[in-house]
Amino acid sequence: MSGQQTPGPRILVTGGNSGIGRALCRQLAVEDGCHVLLGSRDAARGRAAVESIRRELGANRPGSVELVVVDVAREDSVVSAVKAVGSPVYALVNNAGTGLAHGASPEQVIDTNLYGVRRMVEAFTGQGLVSSRIVNVGSGSGPGYVSRCPLPLQATLSKTPADWQAIEELLAPAADGRSGFGSAADHNGGYGISKALLSLYTLLIARDHPRLMVSCCSPGWIRTDIVGHHGPSKGPEEGTPAIKHCLFGELEGSGWYYGSDALRSPYHFMRNPGEPEWDGVVDGVVGIP
């Protein structure tokens, strides 16, 4: 192929300097010919990732990659990223996340994994800078968390919330460790609830942005910094199929949550790859969303 070809869709990936995000940026640019905006909160780490992908691209592939410095935990950084991106992207992938082996506090985990995604979505959709899709990188820890909640809350945590305030109200009891919802809070230091509420927020974005296709997905159990590189046998390059399905697949519904095998999955228990696809029903009663 010639280096003169026009790059494919522009896609912004947060946390693109490391792990799954970096593998995704590499695949999108090198294998799929996309114009990748590689988000990184640290400019030097971002530049290193961009340069390594550019080396692979060489002169003969149609894809391209450039750095966008963005710390999703900082409003001013997100505003700067909006200015840097300038014109609409085909898709925004909210991949940046923290918790587990990163050693972040529960507050930082929720601020990054939930509020950070909201900052990005509000800022970019507010300026009309997403034309087609939003993909939120969730986790099986989300449904795992919900499955440990009392039953009525499991239903609440499986359907479209009224508004953002309703999501914050679900967060409050867990934050101060009260009984009930809080009792399920998280031996994972805020990680499970952050990802459970990210799935819920995905339903809300889908409702409020009917022209966009919005999804949340689990990348699977992948050997990266966030898990301390212990345990999982799969490397970062194997953490992208569900994200790419959400980016390019013919999806039946907006707001849905997908497992790492790219099949629709429930909010209230963890469905493993190989198990039947979820039909969107909770306890035979509640249709989702």
Ligand X SMILES: NC(=O)c1ccc[n+]([C@@H]2O[C@H](COP(=O)([O-])OP(=O)(O)OC[C@H]3O[C@@H](n4cnc5c(N)ncnc54)[C@H](OP(=O)(O)O)[C@@H]3O)[C@@H](O)[C@H]2O)c1
Binding mask 179-218 for ligand X (x = CB under 6 A): ---------------------------------------x
Question: Nearest Cα to 286, choosing from 149, 159, 144?
Answer: 159
Q: Which stretch binds ligand X (CB under 6 A): 14-22, 59-67, 158-166, 171-179?
A: 14-22
**CA-CA-CA-CA torsion for 109, 110, 116, 118, nearest 10 degrees?**
160
- Burial call 141-172: b when 16+ CB within 10 Å, e when fewer: bbbbbbbbbeeebbbbbbebbeeeeebeebbe
Q: Is 154 in the site for ligand X (CB under 6 A)?
A: no
Cβ nearer to ligand X, comparing 5 with 105: 105
214 phi, psi to nearest 5 deg: -120, 130
Q: How many residues bind ligand X (CB under 6 A)?
A: 30
Cα 85 from Cα 120, distance rounded (Å): 12
Q: Where are the alpha helices (DSSP H) in 67-105?
A: 75-85
Cβ nearer to ligand X, comparing 62 with 114: 114
Q: Is 27 in the site for ligand X (CB under 6 A)?
A: no
CB of 62 to ligand X, least distance (A): 25
Cα 9 from Cα 7, distance rounded (Å): 7
Helices (H) and strands (E) in the chain, counts: 10, 9
Question: Nearest Cα to 195, choosing from 176, 172, 222, 167?
Answer: 167
Q: Is 136 in the site for ligand X (CB under 6 A)?
A: no
Reading the block at residue 27, the tokens are 């695949």
Q: Is 235 in the site for ligand X (CB under 6 A)?
A: no
Task: Note whether 18 and 45 are within 8 A (CB).
Answer: yes
- Burial call 43-55: b when 16+ CB within 10 Å, e when fewer: eeebeebbeebee
- Return the residue of 192, 219, 255, 289 that touches ligand X, per CB under 6 A: 219
CB of 150 to ligand X, least distance (A): 25
107 phi, psi to nearest 5 deg: -65, -45
Cβ nearer to ligand X, comparing 30 with 111: 111
Q: Is 18 in the site for ligand X (CB under 6 A)?
A: yes
Q: Is 64 in the site for ligand X (CB under 6 A)?
A: no
Cβ nearer to ligand X, comparing 92 with 222: 222
Q: Is 81 in the site for ligand X (CB under 6 A)?
A: no
Q: Is 227 in the site for ligand X (CB under 6 A)?
A: yes
Q: Is 143 in the site for ligand X (CB under 6 A)?
A: no
Q: Is 95 in the site for ligand X (CB under 6 A)?
A: yes
- Return the residue of 38, 50, 73, 149 that touches ligand X, per CB under 6 A: 73
Q: Is 222 in the site for ligand X (CB under 6 A)?
A: yes
Task: Please report, as ranges, the residues that interact with ligand X according to CB under 6 A.
Answer: 14-15, 17-21, 41-42, 45, 71-73, 95-98, 112, 116, 137, 139, 218-219, 221-222, 224-227, 232
